[in-house]
Chains A and B, each alone.
Chain A
Amino acid sequence: MEEILRVEHLTKVYENGILANDNVSISVNRGEIHAICGENGAGKSTLMKVLFGLEQPEQGDIFVKGEPVRIQSPSAAIKLGIGMVHQHFMLVDRLTVAENVVLGNEPRRGILIDREAACRVTEELGRKYNLEVDPTALVADISVGLKQRVEIIKALLRGAEILILDEPTAVLTSQETRELFEELRHLRDAGHTILFISHKLDEVKALCNRVTIMRGGRTLGTYELEGLSKSDISRMMVGRDVVLKIEKEPASPGAVELSVRGVEYWSELGKKMIDGVSFDVRRGEILCIAGVEGNGQRELVELITGLRSGGAGSAKLRGTELLGRPIRAARKLGMAHIPSDRMVYGVASSQSVKFNILAGKVEDARYTGKLLFRDRAIDRDMEALARAYTVKCTSADQTVGMLSGGNIQKVVVAREMSQEATLLVADQPTRGIDVGAAEFIRRRIVEMRDAGVAILLITADLNEALELSDSIVILHGGKVVAYFADTRALTEEEMGYYMLGVKSQTPEEVEGAVHAS
């Protein structure tokens, strides 16, 4: 087998100090479908970005066909024969398929675009690789599966020999997924090499020749898939490097605070993202919704917190429906929410720490009279909150945008946790922040639980899920596939089986997530 791509000792550190790739090595053979598997945050996407020239590594060597190369831009990657199909398609909706295919690479006739040639190459490539698509259709009008084909054709037209597909099936229906696999096998048989990034083990088993497992930014090794069971892969993917310990008493759950029943949601593209999810969150308990990203938890939490509209079913906070009502209403009822993306939702980064903490309390009689704010109380309490939540800033008048990620997250946490909430939705509360800040936030969540608040935790971090939560609901493919009333006996291997779709509980067991109220 001839080697086409080799990466040696590659290290990538992001500006915020996160070590995304740590001494990564991988070797890929010509004409294979090579899977890259790993949990969220294992470093797969970073590695692919480096290979496609979107990120520059700090250290390490890349060899394409035995030659050492530096890939400084997507164009450089394209020249080396590397093509990428992004998870979010890079297509112009209002142009035709053929126009998208040739964009930046247009066939000419005099000063004109040779439209016929554009259509012809699109069709020819389509026929050759079994990727047929109508070149004159507007991209906006075609299905997701076809859009993906267009992306593949784009890469092939630019001479891609190595094709990177970043979680290509996340947006596809099962029928489209089957078709994609046919197409990929066809491409492989024609001599192309495919890097297939996924955490869907069924798909990896069905499609790929070899798999490289990544965990915590490192590569654990490359294995022939033949003879490797799904459980083997799962175990390697989810093994814990650092065992996190959080001191907490066993929960003593009280009455049901949030009850979610039969929630369903279809994406704009018509894919069913949430399929009949039901569970309850009780006071004084931390319920974790775990799952591999893309299995519906994003949509679920956005529906409950009001950031997303649409969907069916119900989510009631102490009997009052939340779905389809404004966020204001939910917050007035006692919901606090740590959002997953602090820069998009969590803070107004050009405003002060004080401003950001106060944002949730502007109608609180402690801070506002009938007309005017009570400045003295605001100054005193916001400063005290910033201090209580150990926000490292020169004063509460400092611009939030100038703080580090961990401190920005503490500002968000300070605001949300001081809201006198009865329900806290904590969505990836410690993602991408330093260990100290993360530990602080986790401890605070436990304190709130002990104070009787119902906590809905959404996390992609298995350590956090197991250590922090009292009970766990696991989502796979938009469905609840497991419920564990007590996490103490649960192991990460066991969780991995459910998250990756190796196992699922019986409907009766899953029913446990719904408590009689």
Chain B
Amino acid sequence: MSAFFEAVGNVAFAAQILRVATPILLAALGATIASQAGCLNMGLEGIMLFAALTGVYVSSMTQNASWGAWAGLLAALAVGALLGALLAYLVLHLKTDATLAGVAINVIGSNATVFLMYVWTGSPGTSASQKSYVLPTVSIPVIRDIPVVGTVFSGQNVVTYMAFALVAALAFFLYRTPLGLRIRGVGLNPGAADSVGINVVGVKYLAYVLSGVLAAMGGAFMSMGYVSWFARDMTAGRGFIALAAQAMGRSTPVGSMLSSIFFGFTMALSNSMQSLSIPFELIEAMPYACTILALSAYAYQQTRKKKQSSGG
């Protein structure tokens, strides 16, 4: 047990939670904005992979240590936007089932990235042979000097700070701006939105595109922050976890953040448990099992509420 506390109780562990939670959080925010507009983005995983590869490739092509990584990030975001638009086109215009369209994007993402990486590097496993750049970490003055707090909150990758800033930005966007109101209106009652002259399909397009951009940022972090290369299927299901985080967070930015941190905690825990004799697989399964329980509890509560209101 003492080994457990040693692993969990140190500050490096707390810092690791934030790091591990970052890609999940970004993708969960992507799922959130889609869901707020009444759309399902099942393709987060594939979008993240494409973005991760794009980021590494573009940064590597620039051969520039000072802004190469930033160019990579921008390119990754652009690819995310494109894929979001593609998904929107499949779902809204070609009337493809959103689940199957997402599954297709994931299959394509998982395999096309390997194919392209091979064409680029000649290796089907990782892109480590090519020099690429990572996004910088940020050392925050004042905070970095505070013991404990400094270790946790300073020195994180810039994308981690962006992710948490985006929680606030997204909440602000959804709840305080006219466009945010329209997105929520479209998601909650498309008929009502339509009756006041809102372009429902246009708003959904926008939500898919923004969703793609957010997921792409999470993907870019994977290959240009979390590690410094692209690897086959490196997102390892984070896109699906993000969907669960969004569902558990009831499609709100803050809720998605909390559940992402929860996932980050359990993943960091299973990482640091690897050296111990505790069966980390069971710890690894915990967040998923908890999600199932949380979703069931929520569904149960909704059913009861409905029953009560319709009971004569």
Q: How far is the CA of A84 from the CA of B194 in the complex (A)?
A: 13
Whether the Cβ atoms of A108 and B178 lie closer than 8 Å is: yes
A93 at the interface (CB under 8 A from B): yes
Sort chain A's interface into a size bin. Answer: 20 to 34
Q: Write out the residue numbers on chain B whose beta carbons fall within 8 Å of the beta carbon of A104.
A: 182, 185, 193, 196-198
Q: Which listed residue (B192, B196, B312) contacts A105, Cβ 8 A? A: B196
Residue-wise interface mask of A (76-92) relative to B, using a CB-CB cutoff of 8 A (1 in contact, 0 not): 00100000101000111
User: Is the Cβ of A103 less than 8 Å from the Cβ of B188?
Assistant: no
- Alpha-carbon distance A74/B200, docked complex (angstroms): 13
Most buried by A among B189, B309, B310: B189
List, in ascending order, chain A residues with CB within 8 A of B310's CB: 268, 309-310
B contact patch SS: helix
Assembly CA distance A158 to B196 (angstroms): 9
Interface string of B287-312 (1 = CB under 8 A from A): 00000000000000000000001111
- Which residue from B177, B194, B196, B311 sits with its C-beta under 8 Å from A154? B196
Contact A103 B198 (CB under 8 A): yes
Interface status of A516 (Cβ within 8 A of chain B): no
Of A86, A91, A108, most buried by chain B (CB within 10 Å of CB) is: A91
> Which parts of A311-335 form the interface with B (CB within 8 Å)?
311-312
Tell whether, in the assembled complex, residue A86 and residue B177 are in contact, meaning their CB atoms are under 8 Å apart: no
Interface residues on B, range: 20 to 34
Q: Assess whether B277 is interfacial by the CB under 8 Å rule.
A: no
The residue from B176, B193, B311 contacting A103, defined by CB atoms under 8 A apart: B193
With A92-B184, A113-B176 already in contact, the answer to whether A103 and B312 are too (CB < 8 A) is no
* Complex CA distance for A266 and B312, rounded to whole angstroms: 6
Given the known interface contacts A78-B197, A266-B312, A268-B309, the answer about A106 and B188 at a Cβ–Cβ threshold of 8 Å is no
Q: Which residues of B contact A100 (CB under 8 A)?
A: 192
**Distance of B207 from chain A, by nearest CB (Å):** 16
With both beta carbons as reference points, the residue of chain A lying nearest to B194 in the complex is identified as: A74
CB contacts (< 8 Å) of B237 on chain A: these are none
Residue from A74, A84, A99, A104 with most neighbouring chain B CB atoms (10 Å)? A104
Residues 93-105 of chain A: 1 if any B CB is under 8 Å from the residue's CB, otherwise 0? 1110001101111
Q: Let me know if A92 and B309 touch, CB within 8 A.
A: no
Across the interface, name the chain B residue whose C-beta is closest to A311: B312
A222 interface contact, C-beta 8 A: no
Q: Provide the bound-state CA to CA distance between A102 and B194, in Å.
A: 13
Residues of B within 8 A of A92 (CB): 184-185, 188-189, 192-193
Q: Is A435 an interface residue (CB 8 A)?
A: no
Closest approach, in angstroms, between the C-beta of A314 and any C-beta of chain B? Answer: 14
The reply to whether B194 and A103 form a contact with Cβ atoms under 8 Å apart is no
Say yes or no: is B181 at the interface (Cβ < 8 Å to chain A): yes
The digit string for B166-198, where 1 denotes a CB below 8 A from any CB of A, is 000000000011100110110011011111111
Q: CA of A310 to CA of B197 in the docked complex: distance in angstroms?
A: 37
User: A117: shortest Cβ distance to chain B, in Å?
Assistant: 12
Q: How far is it, in angstroms, between the C-alpha of A284 and the C-alpha of B312 when the chains are bound? A: 34
Q: In the complex, what's the smallest C-beta–C-beta distance from A51 to chain B, in angstroms?
A: 14
Given A93-B188, A265-B312, A310-B310, do A113 and B195 touch, yes or no (CB 8 Å)?
A: no
In the complex, A155 Cα to B26 Cα: how many Å? Answer: 39
Q: In the assembled complex, how far is the CB of residue B212 from the closest CB belonging to chain A, in whole angstroms?
A: 22
**In the assembled complex, which residues on chain B have CB atoms less than 8 Å from the CB atom of A154?**
196
Cβ B181 vs Cβ A106 within 8 A:
yes
Contact between A113 and B178 (Cβ–Cβ < 8 Å)? Answer: yes
Report how far A106 CA is from B177 CA in the complex, Å. Answer: 9
Can you name the residue of chain B whose Cβ is closest to the Cβ of A76? B197
A75 to chain B: which residues have CB within 8 Å? 197
With contacts A75-B197, A104-B198 taken as known, whether A95 is within 8 angstroms of B191 at the C-beta atoms is no
Bound-state CA distance A93–B188 (Å) is: 8
Chain A residue numbers with a CB within 8 Å of B198 are 103-104
Chain A residues, Cβ within 8 Å of B184:
92, 94-95
Does A112 belong to the interface (CB within 8 Å)?
yes
Contact assessment for B181 and A90 in the assembled complex, using a CB-CB cutoff below 8 Å: no
Shortest Cβ distance from residue B177 to the other chain A in the assembled complex, whole angstroms: 6
Residues of B within 8 A of A158 (CB): 196
| C-alpha spacing A78/B197, complex, angstroms | 9
Cβ of A296 to closest chain B Cβ, rounded Å: 13
Q: How far is the CB of A157 from chain B (nearest CB, A)?
A: 10
A111 within 8 A of B: yes
Compute how far the CA of A506 lies from the CA of B241 in the bound complex, rounded to whole angstroms: 67
State A94–B191 Cα separation when bound (angstroms).
Answer: 14
Q: A112-B176, A113-B177 are in contact. Are A91 and B312 (CB under 8 A)?
A: no
Across-interface contacts of A105 in B (CB, < 8 A): 196
Find the B residue at minimum CB distance from A75. Answer: B197
CA distance A235 to B191 in the complex (A): 37
- Asked if residues A112 and B189 are in contact (CB atoms below 8 Å), the reply is no
Most buried by B among A99, A103, A111, A311: A103
Asked whether, in the complex, the Cβ of B192 is within 8 Å of the Cβ of A91, the reply is: yes
Which B residues, 140 to 185, have Cβ-Cβ distances below 8 Å to chain A?
176-178, 181-182, 184-185
Q: List 13 A-B contacts (CB under 8 A).
A: A90-B189, A90-B195, A90-B196, A91-B192, A93-B188, A94-B188, A95-B184, A102-B181, A104-B182, A113-B178, A113-B181, A158-B196, A309-B310
